[in-house]
Chains A and B, each alone.
Chain A
Amino acid sequence: MATPTAPAVERENYLNKHYGVESWLLTTDHKRISLLYLLSVTFFFFIGGIFALLIRLELLTPQGDLVQADTYNKLFTQHGMVMVFFFLIPVVPAVLGNFLVPIMIGAKDLAFPRINLLSWYLYIIGGMLMLHCMLTGGVDTGWTFYTPFSTAFTNTKIIEAGLAAFVAGFSSILTGLNFIVTIHRMRAPGMTWSRLPLFIWAHYATSLIQILGTPVIAITIVLVASERVFHLGIFDPKLGGDPLLFQHLFWFYSHPAVYIMILPSMGVISEIIACFSRKRIFGYNFVALSSIAIAVLGFLVWAHHMFVAGISVYAALIFSFLTYFVGVPSAIKVFNWTATLYKGSIRYDAPMLYAFGFLGLFTIGGLTGLFLACLGINVHVTDTYFVVAHFHYIMVGGVLMGYLGGIHFWWPKISGRMYPESWARLSALVVFIGFNLTFFPQFILGYVGMPRRYYQYPPEFQILNVLSTAGSTVLGLGYLMPMVYLLWSMRYGKPAPQNPWNAAGLEWMTQSPPTTFNFDQEPVVTWEAYNYEEIDHAQKEEVPVAG
């Protein structure tokens, strides 16, 4: 199955088949588009990261001193917008999903390769609009755009920022559409639904949310723009509108959007844990269906963002009740991943360390979600740093740990090179420690009562803020490390064998990096997912490839 040695001369693959700018900008190869996304999301992560660093620096002292109040408000708004719309939402599906969805199911490409390229261009157009918006004045409403502040009061660039999110939203819709059709129509012979890798199930669930939820935010943005430009009374009570209507519409998308971000990372974690435990995932069916359950239930809980917003007590009761149900499938996943370790044969390679990190952070993020779902506690902690800490544990702790784990796991396949393993392990550790130092103090800060989006704050909150800022420098370092050594590995790394981890899955049965059409001939699947027993049995004689 595996090639015995890496050949001296590079074989033809998707990277070296064509050269030149045009061969990249006009490519319809899902793997090349994946790399285009990799570059662009990394760029936006960098920008969002700089904003985050400036925010943390400003909060070192209680008084506002580093930047002006308005600048600070723009910093956290743009940090949120860039990170949510231009990093977290596309990061796993558009980079790893784009690369792996076709290969994992044994297809040559996505169902609509040109639409795939279009979706990248839409993302770039949206991104350029966002950049232009930020460079020419920026926006200061918070990424939540609450009305009537956004429609009638602020004089910053709402329309342009909205347009940026609007266009990027279509990129997200098209990616989702492409995945759904591909997964339905292009599976290799024998690749039944019950043999799909859990990564595919997770992306399928994500795609459902993308195509059902994203149009709602598009509509909402159009409504905000109409009120702002034409003074149509939709959300502003002075014009006869209702500001709560905006919040309902906004969260109807933006709560499920959290699952757009986290589900693909959960898919990554399932792949990594199975591989480095040498085991089939415990309770495959439950893990697969819990993704779908999260996608469906995720649409029924949006008003838990509005418990103190002025909704009725009975509405609040219903949404709190439903929110607890969405906790169950997430818990099921965590329990099954943990159970997969039981009687495994566990290796601590870098991707697995990231997966452990994911479990650690997602557990805390998920459990603190129970606090927020609890009406009595929510009143006190909503709109404080408790919420900030909670969603960073999910969206950064969870999503980014999953993404980095996935990038390390599939890097040999994507780049054809091995990265320095010890550096990678170190970065996983640094990220985990830095993350907790940054965000754990914010839970305490929130319960003590520091509201979010505060440019200056009463002095008694300072010590916790200093801790958090100190942690963020460690975290920043942890994120920079992979950028450096992965780049380094592209030139100096050892050539990667076809299957460096002895992993299961079709992506490991083609060369590294794959050819343009992924497989020399269409694979026929005769085995179940995660057939680690067979793989290890077959390779008993061989020396395992160390990372």
Chain B
Amino acid sequence: MFDNFPLWPERASKMAANVDALYIFLLIVSAMMTTLIYVAIVYFAARYRQRKGEHAEQIEGSTPLELTWSIIPLGVFMVMFLWGAVVYFQGRTPPRDATEVYVVAKQWMWKLEHAEGQREINELHVPVGSDIKLIMTSQDVIHSFYVPAFRMKQDVLPGRYTVAWFHPTKAGTYHLFCAEYCGTQHSGMIGSIVVMESAQYQAWMSGSQGGPLSASGEKIFAELGCATCHRLDSQGRGPALQGIFGRPVQLEDGRIITVDENYIRESILDPGSKVVKGFKPVMPTFQGLVSEEQLNALVAYIKSLSPPAAAGTKTASTSAPASAPVQGSQVQ
């Protein structure tokens, strides 16, 4: 699987090719700059070595020259910045219809849960050629989900969701590293991403049991009595949740925010912080009552109440760009 002495990481995602192209551009520019400076230094040092009877020629400096070697590099830097920004933006913007996988990191393992219900530890099976969106949180300290072959990395924080995505292009098994130091076994927090051909993936999928994540979310929703206030048929003491995901809502203080994974999460754990206009802050907190996995299931369930066609946007998390307000009227 791995060569003994790699000088270049495997290229196994759409993003990898983009990042490599950018990297090669920077390598070329840097090699040129290094050569220019080294050659100048070596040449001057040899050519103007102290000799008897020769004196240095005093040169005060030159403003045009200073401007030249400030402005030209700055221009090149701006190309790097823009190109880098474009690649970064792609890497931070998951496609709308990406398959979702929930990730819970803890010292020192990765727990991964497919929307269809499969659960894995330190291993993630995905089909080649699909968009995979990771909705990640940590149970304890900060970790970082890093797959070198995909050129993809995203810190995983406790207390919130961060989002990442990738599009594998090549079947194979790739390293999943934790890249943010997280304690004793940080370097043992290694997993693998298994990218499979579609047919194999289907076979793997059918081999596992358990219903979809949203179904377990529905069960938890019922068990915790959420439906007493968040009613399906009529307006309860809390907002109705159908069709709410991905839509803007107005809060008590007049702000308008888009309902995303982080907002649902926050509303379960800290319900008083962002109350929808027209409702009273009567909901109790569920902090400590639900595990990260149960939270994920609840989020998946509430999302399932808003079919993709109805949902306006797709983004979650702080790391995705705040989408432009959905055109049309707002809820509430």
- Whether B56 pairs with A449 at a CB distance below 8 angstroms is no
At the interface, yes or no: B263 with Cβ under 8 Å from chain A?
no
CA distance A451 to B190 in the complex (A): 11
- Whether B34 pairs with A339 at a CB distance below 8 angstroms is no
Given the known interface contacts A341-B48, A342-B48, the answer about A364 and B185 at a Cβ–Cβ threshold of 8 Å is no
Given the known interface contacts A153-B140, A282-B61, the answer about A374 and B30 at a Cβ–Cβ threshold of 8 Å is no
At the interface, yes or no: B7 with Cβ under 8 Å from chain A?
yes
At the interface, yes or no: A278 with Cβ under 8 Å from chain B?
yes
At the interface, yes or no: A277 with Cβ under 8 Å from chain B?
yes
At the interface, yes or no: A485 with Cβ under 8 Å from chain B?
no
At the interface, yes or no: B310 with Cβ under 8 Å from chain A?
no
Contacts of B319 in A (CB 8 A): 310-313
CA distance A332 to B72 in the complex (A): 11
Within 8 A of A (CB), among B234-286: none
At the interface, yes or no: A457 with Cβ under 8 Å from chain B?
yes
Contacts of A236 in B (CB 8 A): 158
A539 to chain B, nearest CB (A): 11
Number of B residues near A (Cβ < 8 Å) is: 93
Chain A residue nearest to B143 in the complex (CB): A149
- Whether B48 pairs with A334 at a CB distance below 8 angstroms is no
CA distance A453 to B180 in the complex (A): 9
- Whether B66 pairs with A370 at a CB distance below 8 angstroms is no
B269 to chain A, nearest CB (A): 9
Contacts of A309 in B (CB 8 A): 142, 155, 157
A367 to chain B, nearest CB (A): 4
- Whether B151 pairs with A379 at a CB distance below 8 angstroms is yes
- CB < 8 Å neighbour of B318 from A69, A310, A336, A356: A310
- Whether A149 pairs with B69 at a CB distance below 8 angstroms is no
- CB < 8 Å neighbour of B158 from A237, A285, A383: A237
Most A Cβ at <10 Å: residue of B3, B73, B162? B73
Contacts of A342 in B (CB 8 A): 44, 48, 59
- Whether B9 pairs with A383 at a CB distance below 8 angstroms is no
A63 to chain B, nearest CB (A): 10
Chain B residue nearest to A240 in the complex (CB): B270
One of A188-196, A319-327, A474-482 contacting the partner: A319-327
Contacts of B56 in A (CB 8 A): 277-279, 343-345, 532-533, 536
Residues 5-34 of chain A, each 1 if its beta carbon lies under 8 Å from chain B, else 0: 000000000000000000000000000000
Chain A residue nearest to B43 in the complex (CB): A341
At the interface, yes or no: A230 with Cβ under 8 Å from chain B?
no
At the interface, yes or no: B307 with Cβ under 8 Å from chain A?
no
Chain A residue nearest to B273 in the complex (CB): A240
Contacts of B34 in A (CB 8 A): 363-364, 367
At the interface, yes or no: B33 with Cβ under 8 Å from chain A?
yes
Within 8 A of A (CB), among B33-47: 33-34, 37-38, 40-41, 44-45
- Whether B33 pairs with A383 at a CB distance below 8 angstroms is no
- CB < 8 Å neighbour of A380 from B6, B142, B148: B148
Most B Cβ at <10 Å: residue of A146, A154, A344? A344
CA distance A153 to B106 in the complex (A): 12
B35 to chain A, nearest CB (A): 10
- Whether B85 pairs with A343 at a CB distance below 8 angstroms is no
Contacts of A286 in B (CB 8 A): 61, 66
- Whether B5 pairs with A346 at a CB distance below 8 angstroms is no
- Whether A146 pairs with B55 at a CB distance below 8 angstroms is no
Given the known interface contacts A324-B81, A375-B85, the answer about A345 and B55 at a Cβ–Cβ threshold of 8 Å is yes
A243 to chain B, nearest CB (A): 6
- Whether B140 pairs with A359 at a CB distance below 8 angstroms is no
Chain B residue nearest to A343 in the complex (CB): B57
CA distance A313 to B38 in the complex (A): 37
Given the known interface contacts A338-B37, A343-B57, the answer about A237 and B160 at a Cβ–Cβ threshold of 8 Å is yes
At the interface, yes or no: A2 with Cβ under 8 Å from chain B?
no
Within 8 A of A (CB), among B83-102: 83-89, 91-92
Given the known interface contacts A238-B158, A338-B44, the answer about A374 and B26 at a Cβ–Cβ threshold of 8 Å is yes
Residues 142-167 of chain A, each 1 if its beta carbon lies under 8 Å from chain B, else 0: 10101011001110000000000000
Given the known interface contacts A324-B81, A444-B7, the answer about A367 and B61 at a Cβ–Cβ threshold of 8 Å is no
B301 to chain A, nearest CB (A): 23
- CB < 8 Å neighbour of B9 from A339, A347, A447, A536: A447
At the interface, yes or no: A328 with Cβ under 8 Å from chain B?
yes
One of B16-24, B111-119, B201-209, B214-222 contacting the partner: B16-24
- CB < 8 Å neighbour of A237 from B2, B157, B180: B157
Residues 152-192 of chain B, each 1 if its beta carbon lies under 8 Å from chain A, else 0: 11110111101000000000000101111111111110100
11 interchain pairs, CB-CB under 8 A: A142-B181, A277-B48, A308-B153, A309-B155, A313-B88, A317-B85, A331-B73, A342-B44, A368-B30, A376-B87, A460-B4
Seed contacts A308-B144, A458-B175; 20 additional CB < 8 Å A-B pairs:
A69-B185, A146-B181, A149-B142, A237-B160, A238-B158, A243-B157, A278-B55, A280-B59, A312-B322, A345-B51, A346-B50, A347-B50, A363-B34, A373-B84, A374-B22, A374-B84, A375-B85, A379-B91, A456-B188, A533-B58
